[in-house]
């Protein structure tokens, strides 16, 4: 139930078609916390709202080391810890609005401090590289343990979908938010609408999960179809692309530098020697809108 009745000014942006409505909390009033899940559901609705994969709030930081704070709500109103495509858009938005002249700054997120770096052509932002931090092999998800208790990089997962049980080999890891990577030979054969929800709500993932069906094209290039927690099929997932790159490298299928092809376009991802994952991609405007359902 949205109790906030004032018109709300929003900016719609996308990273490779993964589209979000941004509420600029540095310039606009921010509705009370309790209203945010319902507001996200309402504005994200493609028929009765504006339509988006979710709502992102740009806020002043609480952490003195950060310049901005980001909160991301999925289309179903659930809050995610991080959004890779969203943070590139946020970085472009705060720069274009003159909130900073820095081209590199820290954004506080639910996944900790994240550092975007803008690429400029004059004053125009042409792309953003984000230090996405250090991946973790488990986080309240499947214990990634092998038969002798050693750290495993892949484990079997039995999934029931549409009355059918199948066993998938998966890598579950956290980029601050939870991901499950499934390597497949035939990406087109994946029934995303059936399998996506079955993975998302699998008991192995108490926080639910973002799932990435991935085909390795060669050690430097993979192709992915995404099912996002709380938003369903999307054209791209930035944190997911990072998870895929890490899973590819850990399982020896790829090198540490990969081009991740998604339905909406490609991201460049590197799992660097410092242990951090760096993601590079675009951030684009769609338009401004006033949400005013009266």
Ligand X SMILES: N[C@@H](CCC[C@H](N)C(=O)O)C(=O)O
The answer to whether 211 and 180 have CB atoms below 8 angstroms apart is yes
Whole-number Å distance between alpha carbons of 36 and 30: 9
Within its chain, how far is the Cα of 163 from the centroid?
A: 29
Of 11, 19, 44, 74, the one binding ligand X (CB under 6 A) is: 74
Q: How far apart are CA 212 and CA 170, in angstroms?
A: 10
Nearest Cα neighbor of 138 from 72, 206, 191, 190 is 206
Which residue in the shown chain puts its C-beta closest to ligand X? 80
Say if residue 220 carries a ligand binding annotation: no
User: Within positions 90 to 149, which residues make up the interface with ligand X, using CB under 6 A?
Assistant: none
Shortest distance (Å) from residue 192 CB to ligand X: 15
Nearer to ligand X, 42 or 242 (CB): 242
The reply to whether 18 sits in an annotated binding site is yes
CA pair distance 17, 112, nearest whole angstrom = 25
Out of 231, 248, 258, 260, the residue judged to bind ligand X by CB under 6 A = 231
Backbone angles phi, psi at 233, to 5 degrees: -75, 130
Residue 85 near ligand X by CB under 6 A: yes
Question: Residue 89: what are its φ and ψ, rounded to 5°?
Answer: -65, -45
Catalytic residue numbers, as ranges: 83, 237
For position 174 contacting ligand X by CB under 6 A, the verdict is no
Report the alpha-carbon distance of residue 26 to residue 22 in Å, rounded.
11
Smallest separation (angstroms) from ligand X to the CB of 18? 5
| 177 assigned ligand-binding residue | yes
* Distance of closest approach, residue 81 Cβ to ligand X, in angstroms: 6
Residue ranges in contact with ligand X by CB under 6 A: 18, 72, 74, 80, 83-86, 177, 210, 228-231, 234, 237-240
Binding residue positions: 18, 74, 84-85, 177, 210, 228-229, 238-239
């Amino acid at each position: 139930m949205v109790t906030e009745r004032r018109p709300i000014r929003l900016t719609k942006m996308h990273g490779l078609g993964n589209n979000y409505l941004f509420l600029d909390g540095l310039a606009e009033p921010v509705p009370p916390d309790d209203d945010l899940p319902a507001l996200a559901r309402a504005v994200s609705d493609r028929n009765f709202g504006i339509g988006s994969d979710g709502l992102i709030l740009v806020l002043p930081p609480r952490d003195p080391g950060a310049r901005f704070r980001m909160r991301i709500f999925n289309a179903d109103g659930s809050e995610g810890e991080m959004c890779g495509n969203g943070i590139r858009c946020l970085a472009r938005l705060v720069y274009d609005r003159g909130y900073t002249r820095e081209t590199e700054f820290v954004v506080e997120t639910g996944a900790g401090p994240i550092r975007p770096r803008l690429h400029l052509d004059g004053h125009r932002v042409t792309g953003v590289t984000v230090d996405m931090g250090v991946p973790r092999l488990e986080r309240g998800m499947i214990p990634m343990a092998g038969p002798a208790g050693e750290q495993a990089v892949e484990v079997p997962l039995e999934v029931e979908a549409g009355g059918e049980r199948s066993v998938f080999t998966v890598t579950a890891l956290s980029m601050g938010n939870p991901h499950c990577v499934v390597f497949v030979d035939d990406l087109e054969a994946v029934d995303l609408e059936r399998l996506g929800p079955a993975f998302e709500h699998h008991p192995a993932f108490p926080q639910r999960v973002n799932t990435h069906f991935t085909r390795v094209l060669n050690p430097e290039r993979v192709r992915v179809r995404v099912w996002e927690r709380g938003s369903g099929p999307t054209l791209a997932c930035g944190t997911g692309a990072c998870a895929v790159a890490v899973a590819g490298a850990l399982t020896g299928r790829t090198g540490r530098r990969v081009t991740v092809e998604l339905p909406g376009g490609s991201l460049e991802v590197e799992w660097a020697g410092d242990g951090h994952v760096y993601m590079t991609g675009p951030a684009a405007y769609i338009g401004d809108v006033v949400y005013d359902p009266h």
